[in-house]
Amino acid sequence: MRMDFLEFSRICETLEHTPGRLDMTAIVQDALSSLDEGDLPLFIRYLMGRPFPDWSQDKIGIGPNSVYDAVAYVTGKDRGAVVSTVNQSGDPGRAVESLLANKEQRSFFSESLTLADIANDFTILATTSGTKSQKEKDRVLRRFFGNTSPLEGRYLARLLLGELRIGIGEGTMRDAIAGAFSVSPAAVEHAYQASNDLGEVALIAHKGEDALYAVHIEPFRPVKMMLAKQGTVTDMLIESGVLAAEYKYDGTRFQFHKSGGVCRMYSRKLEEVTHAIPDVVAMLDAATSHDIILDGEVIAVRDGRPLPFQHVLKRFRRKHDIASHIEQIALVPNIFDIVWIDGETLIDLPLSERRKRLETAVSGEYVAPQLMSGDEEEIDLLYRTALDDGHEGIMVKDIHSPYTPGVRGKF
């Protein structure tokens, strides 16, 4: 039987009042064990406040005003009263709950909503465009709140506005999936890093641990980018012996995907920006003949010197008149990692091996310079050179480290 949104909302309420992480994990784990396969990925995404997979470019595209208008319509209130209630509460979900509990008219024909119903309407909200799109979105929102109980309204409003407020993080969900399907948290983490969708990972976990370790990165499904953490050269040399040192650029991070002659570019937030920087996409397309996924940073350059990152940001956010801005702001990509090539996922390889693969697969013009050294003075010289060249400094990396999407690695 498919899960009703009311049942989902009751689980959310329980979690919202459960302070301990282990207790929260146990509640989620118990729920996962009994779910229909069709509901499993939806349940997981919604518990984490995400209407769609992390890699998806779909966005609900609904702002607070649209939600308030819909709630005003179904409760018989004017919009000002709804906004006032939200402002007094400080929590749109709680405000919607109280308004639905006191609405002036009640429908005798309301239908219970399932997770699948919510998913279908989320897709409508994300994909509807054109001159009549707002009317269609308003119709969906009115149906939503016209068919929800006050408790459902609390969590539906929060989901729509991107803030569920129940405290389920990726670690809690990872452990719950592992416990529900008797697999290791490490296997779940590996599959999540490659697929960037814990909902899909739960379905795979049904098949066992080997299936989780067999998950590979796919082009045009961007993975989270590896993050840096604080550290000193001295400490890292003591720990690792040899480090990889690279310039620290004052630019904007990107992930470049190429497969079957199609190229796409994604930002740090995994939003597609191909349309905004077609010149950079063309440079990288020409730089490799492989199907490939690359990690790097774009910088703006004038007269051979880097410009502050705000210049890059202007291009990334540009939606119109791209051609004239290409002439005004010259962008240069600097590639420092490779995560996938010709069907092979590389994230488990050490940095030193990934670097070799990168240098073989991509022409050197856009590959970021790198120094591998165990000499602190040599690394310090690179640091001073980077500053002289107008960059922010250097990054130092453990040559043995794998690529860990979304995790602060040994930088």
Instruction: Give 109-127 pLDDT, tens digit per residue.
Output: 467 889 999 999 999 999 9
303 vs 254, higher pLDDT: 254
R_g (Cα) of the chain, nearest Å:
24
Query: Residue 188 gets which letter from DSSP?
Result: H
109 C-beta neighbours (distance < 10 Å), count:
6
- Least confident segment among 123-127, 294-298, 302-306: 302-306
Contact yes or no for 44/202 (Cβ under 8 A): yes
pLDDT at position 411 over 50: no
Quickly state the pLDDT bin for 408 (edges 50, 70, 90): low
Question: Pick from 149, 145, 171: which is nearest to 160 by CA?
Answer: 145
Give dist(CA 167, CA 189) in Å, integer: 19
Instruction: Kindly report, residue by residue over 168-218, the tens digit of the pLDDT.
Output: 999 999 999 999 999 999 999 999 999 999 999 999 999 999 999 999 999
Residues serving a catalytic function are: 248
pLDDT at position 409 over 70: no
Give dist(CA 4, CA 159) in Å, integer: 15
CA angle 388, 392, 398 (to 5 degrees): 110
Q: Which helix (H) or strand (E) holds 293?
A: strand 292-302
Give dist(CA 385, CA 394) in Å, integer: 9
Query: Residue 114 gets which letter from DSSP?
Result: B
pLDDT attached to residue 327: 61
Whether the CA torsion 312, 318, 322, 328 is positive or negative: it is: negative
Residue with token string 């709630």: 71
Give SS3 for 66.
helix
* pTM of the predicted model as reported, rounded to 2 decimal places: 0.88
CA angle 315, 321, 324 (to 5 degrees): 75
pLDDT attached to residue 108: 44
Query: Residue 402 gets which letter from DSSP?
Result: P
How confident is the model over 225-253, as a mean pLDDT? 86
